[in-house]
């Protein structure tokens, strides 16, 4: 009978990892928050490396503009608007059938953070916003779970490994939420696919260190990469005694004391609202009834994950199971709420 580790033979021959490190990888579980550019490549690298279980969470669906840098998706996924988490798991199952894969089509919030991370040994940041990173940081400090931050814009990016109790936390680096208007996004500044690849691969390498039992090799600093200027440097970063998170123990994002119910989505002409529907014990049936009621208002698409209504006003409503709704065609929060109220009722 073939050794199940045969497929990882080149990796096992790397002595700092070795057979014991591979065994540890095979019984580990990682949570990937966000499966866009960074998250999709991280997921692929960890799946190919033999990490035993991956839980992939993403709130978005595949679009044609994603394919330039989001490696697990195809034109068919874009045509069908397949949720990214589901599309990623579909592709990864064809890459490695030995590991466990779980897709969660959801937004990461203070309400579900603990449930999503349950049983996970490590969290990886594939998100596109600071509030979710602050939430992950709060949870990591509260639970003692390591996590790997990554970010990329233009041709540059950064990676920071956070091991609670041993390294600086994310709020030692970024003490407070930056104003939204002060931040550039991929939509305004663009992003190069190869830069994404470098950052995501470095995040995956840091993850393999943690999950294989080699935490001593984790980089104790902020890795800054510029692929256009061919520059890479590491900025030493120590835990700050004045940090309100790891120093003072304040975790307002995990408690929900600081949260955003309405979000302008990065890279989209769209606004997300946390919940547009009343709670239901049968979310699938609720969407089916709603699809029937809305057919007279515009074109309706219904699949196992969401209902999409395309209105004659060039606005599109995508309503997910559970009620989370994305209004496309505006970045004005008040207008999005008004469109939703007119369509679904206040």
Reply yes or no on whether 219 is catalytic: no
User: Is 170 a residue whose pLDDT tops 90?
Assistant: yes
204 in the same domain as 333 = no
d(CA 108, CA 131): 10
Whether 16 is covered by a domain: the verdict is yes
- Higher pLDDT: 5 or 237? It is 237
The least confident of 87-96, 122-131, 274-283 is 274-283
- Give whole-number Cα distances, 126 to 40, 90, 223, in Å: 8, 18, 16
183 in the same domain as 233 = yes
Catalytic residue among 169, 186, 243, 246: 186
Global confidence as pTM: 0.92
Q: Domain end: 227, 255, 283, which one?
A: 255
Q: CATH number, domain at 320?
A: 3.30.310.10
302 in the same domain as 244 = no
Are the C-beta atoms of 57 and 104 separated by less than 8 Å?
Answer: yes
* Percent share of the chain, pLDDT over 70: 95
83 in the same domain as 47 = yes
What is residue 182's predicted lDDT score, i.e. its pLDDT? 65
Whether 168 is covered by a domain: the verdict is yes
Whether 1 is covered by a domain: the verdict is no
297 in the same domain as 238 = no
* Percent share of the chain, pLDDT over 90: 85
Q: CATH number, domain at 166?
A: 3.40.50.720
121 in the same domain as 97 = yes
What is residue 286's predicted lDDT score, i.e. its pLDDT? 86
Number of domain units in the chain: 2
250 in the same domain as 315 = no
What is residue 92's predicted lDDT score, i.e. its pLDDT? 98
150 in the same domain as 32 = yes
What is residue 282's predicted lDDT score, i.e. its pLDDT? 73
Q: Domain end: 199, 231, 255, which one?
A: 255
216 in the same domain as 144 = yes
pLDDT tens-digit profile of 241-295? 999 999 999 999 999 999 988 998 877 899 999 876 666 667 778 899 999 999 9
How sure is the predictor about 8, in pLDDT bands with cuts at 50, 70 and 90? very high
What is residue 346's predicted lDDT score, i.e. its pLDDT? 47
69 in the same domain as 197 = yes
Q: Take residue 146 and report the two structure tokens written for it.
A: 């390591």
User: Is 181 a residue whose pLDDT tops 70?
Assistant: no
Whether 291 is covered by a domain: the verdict is yes
How sure is the predictor about 157, in pLDDT bands with cuts at 50, 70 and 90? very high
161 in the same domain as 71 = yes
User: Is 188 a residue whose pLDDT tops 90?
Assistant: no
pLDDT tens-digit profile of 35-86? 999 999 999 999 999 999 999 999 999 999 999 999 999 999 999 999 999 9
d(CA 300, CA 275): 19
Are the C-beta atoms of 143 and 254 separated by less than 8 Å?
Answer: no
Segment 209-216 shows an average pLDDT of 97
Owning domain of residue 274: 262-344
Q: At what angle do helices 18-26 and 193-211 cross, to 10 degrees?
A: 100
289 in the same domain as 236 = no
- Higher pLDDT: 5 or 121? It is 121
The whole-chain average pLDDT of the chain stands at 93
Q: Take residue 111 and report the two structure tokens written for it.
A: 């309400």
Q: Is 18 left (phi over 0), alpha (psi -120 to 50) or beta?
A: left
């Amino acid at each position: 009978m073939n050794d199940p580790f045969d497929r990882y033979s080149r990796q096992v021959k790397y002595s700092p990892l070795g057979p014991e490190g591979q065994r540890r990888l095979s019984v580990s579980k990682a949570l990937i928050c966000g499966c866009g550019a960074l998250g999709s490549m991280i997921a692929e690298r960890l799946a190919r490396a033999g990490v035993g279980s991956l839980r992939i969470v993403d709130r978005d669906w595949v679009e044609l503009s994603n394919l330039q840098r989001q490696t697990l998706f195809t034109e068919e996924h874009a045509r069908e608007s397949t949720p990214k988490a589901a599309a990623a798991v579909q592709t990864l199952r064809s890459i490695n059938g030995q590991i466990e894969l779980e897709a969660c089509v959801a937004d990461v919030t203070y309400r579900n953070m603990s449930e999503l991370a349950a049983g996970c040994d490590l969290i990886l940041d594939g998100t596109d916003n600071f509030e979710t990173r602050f939430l992950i940081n709060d949870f990591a400090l509260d639970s003692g779970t390591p996590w790997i931050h990554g970010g990329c814009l233009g041709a540059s990016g950064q990676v920071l490994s956070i091991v609670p109790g041993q390294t600086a936390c994310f709020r030692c680096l970024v003490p407070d939420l930056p104003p939204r208007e002060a931040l550039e996004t991929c939509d305004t500044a663009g992003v190069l696919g190869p830069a994404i690849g470098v950052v995501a691969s470095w995040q995956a390498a840091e993850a393999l260190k943690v999950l294989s039992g080699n935490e001593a090799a984790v980089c104790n600093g902020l890795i800054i990469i510029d692929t256009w200027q061919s520059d890479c440097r590491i900025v030493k970063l120590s835990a700050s005694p004045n940090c309100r998170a790891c120093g003072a123990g304040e975790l307002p994002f995990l408690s929900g004391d600081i949260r955003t119910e309405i979000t302008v989505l990065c890279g989209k002409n769209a606004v997300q609202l946390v919940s547009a529907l009343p709670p239901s014990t049968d979310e699938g049936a609720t969407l089916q009834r709603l699809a029937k009621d809305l057919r007279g208002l515009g074109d309706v698409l219904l699949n196992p994950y969401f209902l999409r209504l395309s209105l004659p006003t060039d606005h599109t409503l995508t309503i997910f199971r559970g009620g989370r709704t994305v209004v496309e065609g505006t970045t004005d929060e008040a207008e999005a709420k008004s469109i939703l109220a007119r369509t679904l009722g206040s």
